[in-house]
A = this chain, B = another copy of it.
C-alpha cells in the first residue's frame, strides 16, 4: 500500500477503501474472524488481493478499520444521563456491538491502542472524571473498568468461536457441566454450586451487574 495523493474516482465501480471495509464487515458478520481472507474479499469484490493491498496496509489494518467503523457509530451517539448512567450506556453499547458482531470482541482484545479502543477508553475516562472521582483515583477506576469490559469482550468472542451459531448454548453448557461431574479428578464445589446460573444466566444482564459492581467499588456511595 502506498499513500494515496488524490481521491480520484477515475473508473466507474472503482475499488476504494470504503468498499473494501464494507465488504470485509459483511464477510466478518457472516463467517467470523477466520472467514475474512484476502481471497474471500477478492472474490466478493471481483478483484485480486494485489488490488486490495493497494488500498489497505494489511489484514490487521483492515480489522482496525472495520472495528472502528462499528465502534464509532456506538460512541458517537451522544451520551445522555448522569455519569453513572452514561457509563452504563457506553458499556452496554460496546457489549451490544460485540454481540452483534462477535469478531469485534476478538480484534478489540488483540490489538492494543487501535483507533476503536482509543474511542472507548477516552469516552469512559471522561465519564469517570464527571462522576467526580478524585483525580488520584481516576486511573485505577478507569483501568479496572476497561479491563473488565475487554475481559467480557474476549470471553464473549471466545465462546462464540467455541459454540458457532446454531449451537444450543444452554444445552452445550449443560453438557460441559456434566462432563465435570464425571471427570471429577478434583471436586469442583464452587462450579457445581453455580452450575445452574452458568447455564441459565443472561449474558447482557450479567455484564451489567459487573459494571455496577465496579461502579460500587469506585464509589461506595453509589446505588
Contact = CB atoms under 8 A, between A and B. Distances in A.
Contacts of A189: 122, 126, 129
Q: How many monomers of this chain does the complex have?
A: 2
Contact of A122 (B111, B190, B218): B190
A27 interface: no
Interface class of chain A by DSSP: helix
A188 B155 contact: no
17 contacts: A109-B151, A110-B161, A118-B188, A121-B191, A122-B188, A122-B189, A122-B191, A125-B190, A125-B191, A129-B190, A139-B198, A142-B194, A144-B210, A144-B213, A151-B153, A151-B154, A154-B154
Interface of A: 109-113, 118, 121-122, 125-126, 128-129, 135, 138-144, 146-155, 158-159, 161-162, 176, 180, 188-191, 193-194, 197-198, 201, 206, 209-210, 213-218, 220
